Structure formats: C-alpha cells, structure tokens
Amino acid sequence: MIFDATHPDARRAIEAALAEDIGPGDITTNACIDADLMAEARFVAKQEIVVAGSELLSLLFDSPEIQKESGSQLRAGEQIASVRASARTLLTRERVSLNFLQRLSGVATLASKFVAAVEGTGVRIIDTRKTTPGLRILEKMAAAAGGIVNHRIGLYDAVLIKNNHIRIAGGVRQAIERARATGKPIEVEVRTRPELEDALACGAQRVLLDNMTPEQAAREIEFIARRAETEISGGITLENVRAYAEGRPEFISSGAITHSAPAVDINCGIYLL
C-alpha cells in the first residue's frame, strides 16, 4: 500500500482534526437531523486528479467502500469512495474528510506533474521538509502516491549539511569531518565551486547544488563527473524543472510539491437511504 493509514501520525492527525472541528458537538446537525436517519456519502472527483488519502476514510467511518486507492489517476466524475452510516455522522465528518482528501490529493496531483515533466531524463523528483506542521508523514505519503521519491523524513534520519551548518562549523571540510561520527551517508549543500571541490575532496556521497541556474547546475554536474550523486534544489517549479533535468542530475527536489500544492476539487454528496 502506498498510503499507510495505520501509521500513528495518521491517527493523531485525524483525531486532532475531529476535535478541532466538532468540539463538544455539531450543533447544527444535531438540531436539524433525526438521530435514526441513515444515509450514503459519495466522494467524487470534480477534476482530473491523482488521489491520495482515501485510506484515511477508514479512520473516520466504519467500513467505507474505497473504490480508488492512493496513487490512482481519476478523471472528473469518477467516484473515490462511498460510506453508509447515520446521516448525523456523515454530515459531522464531511468537512474533515474532504479537507484531508482535497489537500493530500492536491499534493499527489502536483507531484505527478513534476514526475511527468522530467519523463525520459532518468531524473528522480524528491520532496523536502517544507510540509504542514503535524502533517508531514501524510504529505510525504501523498507525494509518494504522486510518483516522487521521499527524501529524509526529519532531521533524525539523514545527514544534510546546509549553508548555515557550513558557516557555523567553519567550512565544508570542518562540517563533514564532524558529521562522519554519525556513520550515515553525508550530503552537502554547495553554492560555489570551492565549496563543491571541498565536498568532493572530503568524500561527500551526495552534493546538493543550491539556487543555481540550469546552465550553472549543468556545468557543475559535468565537473562532478559522477564522483558523487547530485541533487538540484532552490526555485524549482513546473515551468523550469525540465531545464534542470536536462543537466542529468540524479535528483531534483522541490518544496513546492508540499508547501504550494493547491487543494483539488472533490465533492461529497450525501443521500438518504
């Protein structure tokens, strides 16, 4: 499964969202709708999307019927899932359900567009830590559903020496030498040729070429000559990602996939049984 709804962060996110929205109770629904009414909710894509997060419906409702799992490409009008439950339950949880589906499917849809933009180059698109606080795992899973490769999840699972680390440590060499104690592969962000030379001389396994033009990045990749893996980052958009990919790095990362993905249009119609 691409999207793991059993992850503890998924349950925490759902519980927090329900508590935030419902509070002590849905006063409108409880006032207007009889408790014994049963209904069916149908979640339908209103535009072309890559769906993500449909599995979360199992944390919101008992026995939802999920027609499209995360990673599925949908045309407008296709149904994602349906749920039969009390009308009160469906009405009370409709917005939370849609918030997750629309947001996460937006991430997956944008990720898929980045992947399509570099098709044929061999470049792998990766995400970043530029995620919504508290929703990182869900957004990372959504990005993967769109076809990208997840980068590090947090500060704890990979070494990435960035420009502020380099400045405070006293240079690229000093930062790398200290990072060796972690025993993990070392990636170093570089902005100049001298920094790049230092990173390669010290045995960095991956170099991140930051905030360069496509032409600059291509020149540095040629200079690196596969002595380290290469990643390009900084200002990457759908409009320019192909130009960067033509330089043949191994990876291109874009924070836009998670921090700037627009929510997609998904409708939840609720019908009495």
Active site annotation includes 189? yes
Active site annotation includes 113? no
Active site annotation includes 93? no
Active site annotation includes 191? no
* Torsion angle, alpha carbons of 190, 195, 196, 197, to 10: -170
215-to-137, 147, 184, 221, 232 alpha-carbon distances in Å: 34, 26, 31, 10, 12
DSSP annotation string for 102-117: HHHHHHHHHHHHHHHH
Active site annotation includes 21? no
Q: Given 84, 113, 152, 162, which residue is catalytic?
A: 162
Q: Given 124, 130, 152, 173, which residue is catalytic?
A: 130
DSSP annotation string for 239-271: TTHHHHHTT--SEEE-THHHHSPPPP-EEEEEE
d(CA 22, CA 81): 23
Q: Which residues contact 251 (CB under 8 A, 6 or more apart)?
A: 123, 124, 125, 126, 149, 206, 229, 230, 231, 232
Q: If DSSP codes are grouped into helix, strand and coil, which group holds residue 18?
A: helix
d(CA 251, CA 229): 8
d(CA 259, CA 143): 11
Could you give the residue numbers annotated as active site? 95, 130, 162, 189, 210
